[in-house]
Amino acid sequence: MQFNTLGNSNLKVSQICLGTMTYGEQNSQQEAFEQLDYAVSQGINFIDTAELYAIPPKAETYGATETIVGNWLKQHGRREDLVIASKIAGPGADWVGHIRQGKSRFDDKNISEALDNSLQRLQTEYLDLYQLHWPERQTNYFGKLGYQHDAAEEAMTPVVETLQALEKQIKSGKIRYIGLSNETPWGLMQFLSVAQSMNLPVIASIQNPYSLLNRTYEIGCAEISYRENVPLLAYSPLGFGVLTGKYLQNNAPDTARMSLWPHYARYSNPQAVKATQAYVDLAKQHQLDPAQMALAYVNSRPFTAATIIGATTMQQLKTNIASETLMLSNEVVTAIEEIHKTIPNPAP
């Protein structure tokens, strides 16, 4: 397993990070434990979760994933060998109304409360990486394009105040490093510039979507990753599983996420289906597993510190982890770029 340094931190993270958002919904605790045991046995030391999980978010399963991971950590031991990341939820509409009455903010009060609760559920005294799950302000994330300012937008917590609140938790020993998630180039640069000017903690990483169906990260954030040493933690590298090809020809496996929750259609528009078919055909032409080809491409990007995989079955997990050893030929990469030029970013 390859390990990469996470930005300006001293954290060494495995190229493959284990995502856990299915634990407590699609996966039982027993199944989660089996996944975690196997992942660690394969050299993975990086585990990502969030107070929001399990997915889809609802009051009944809020915090369930952290609780399951915490139970495993207690049983597993050797906490110091692992890099554990979690996230604080931002404000939102009805879908997060159960989290601090839907009025979570990135201020001292909310960060302190959310962090303490996450630590309790995870049964650990500290997090290696604590991330802001999505921006507090109204902007583009979760597939939204075309920024439009809302004159009625509530005032956001000043970035300096957020960084000061996080610095307080770092000094207390509860957080080692901080990160962003679902953030824009403007937001990322704001956090970096304020940290530099005010001598506050610097962002170590950014967790955004990135896959063969969504390479919008390359447009604005990739240069920042390079010039400011803030690498990407790529989530949804298979586009909700779409890039495996299992949904092609109108297939809908009974237990698959988009069969259970059809509103997760971000990667299933006609252009995305067309692109997926092209990528799957390319993989088969070169005797490659479509999922492994898609993951290997993400793994190979110079701005990616870790690729966050998720799975509901052990076979999926084994296939996804094995992508770490796959090196794509120049011929395959060239063909991928040709498909991208023809159908660029069909599912941002």
Q: What's the pLDDT score for residue 150?
A: 82
CB 154 within 8 A of CB 166: no
Active site residue 279: no
Length of the chain: 348
In this prediction the pTM is 0.95
Q: What's the pLDDT score for residue 258?
A: 67
Give 21's contacts (C-beta < 8 A, 6+ positions apart): 49, 50, 53, 54, 55, 65, 310
Chain mean position to CA 345: 18
- Tokens 């996230």 identify what position? 87
- For residue 139, give the amino acid letter: T
**CA nearest to 113, candidates 99, 123, 125, 124:** 99
Which of 23, 53, 177, 235 is flagged as catalytic?
53
Q: What's the pLDDT score for residue 256?
A: 67
Would you kindly state where each structural domain of the chain is located, as residue ranges?
Answer: 3-241+294-327
- Exposed e or buried b for every residue in 91-100, given b needs 16+ CB within 10 A? bbeeebebbb
CB 65 within 8 A of CB 20: yes
- For residue 242, give the amino acid letter: V
Alpha-carbon distance 181 to 234, whole Å? Answer: 10
In the three-class reduction of DSSP (H, G, I as helix; E, B as strand; rest coil), residue 23 is classed as strand
- For residue 129, give the amino acid letter: L
User: What number of CA atoms fall less than 13 Å from residue 318's CA on the CB side?
Assistant: 4
Chain mean position to CA 259: 22
Q: Which two tokens stand for residue 101?
A: 């009455």
Q: What residues form DSSP beta bridges with 180?
A: 132, 206
User: Per-residue pLDDT for the chain (348 aa), expressed as one digit of tens each?
Assistant: 999 999 999 999 999 999 999 999 999 999 999 999 999 999 999 999 999 999 999 999 999 999 999 999 999 998 999 999 999 999 987 788 899 988 899 999 999 999 999 999 999 999 999 999 999 988 888 888 888 888 878 889 999 999 999 999 999 999 999 999 999 999 999 999 999 999 999 999 999 999 999 999 999 999 999 999 999 999 999 999 999 999 898 777 766 666 666 766 778 899 999 999 999 999 999 999 999 999 999 999 999 999 999 999 999 999 999 999 999 999 999 999 999 999 999 999
Q: What's the pLDDT score for residue 4?
A: 98
Q: At what angle do helices 185-198 and 217-228 cross, to 10 degrees?
A: 20
Alpha-carbon distance 91 to 88, whole Å? Answer: 10
Answer yes or no: CATH 3.30.499.10 is held by domain 3-241+294-327. no
CA end-to-end distance (rounded Å), the chain: 30
Q: Which two tokens stand for residue 80?
A: 């110091």
- Tokens 């088969």 identify what position? 284
CB 279 within 8 A of CB 291: no
C-alpha dist (Å) from residue 122 to 65, 178, 204? 9, 17, 22
Q: What's the pLDDT score for residue 331?
A: 98
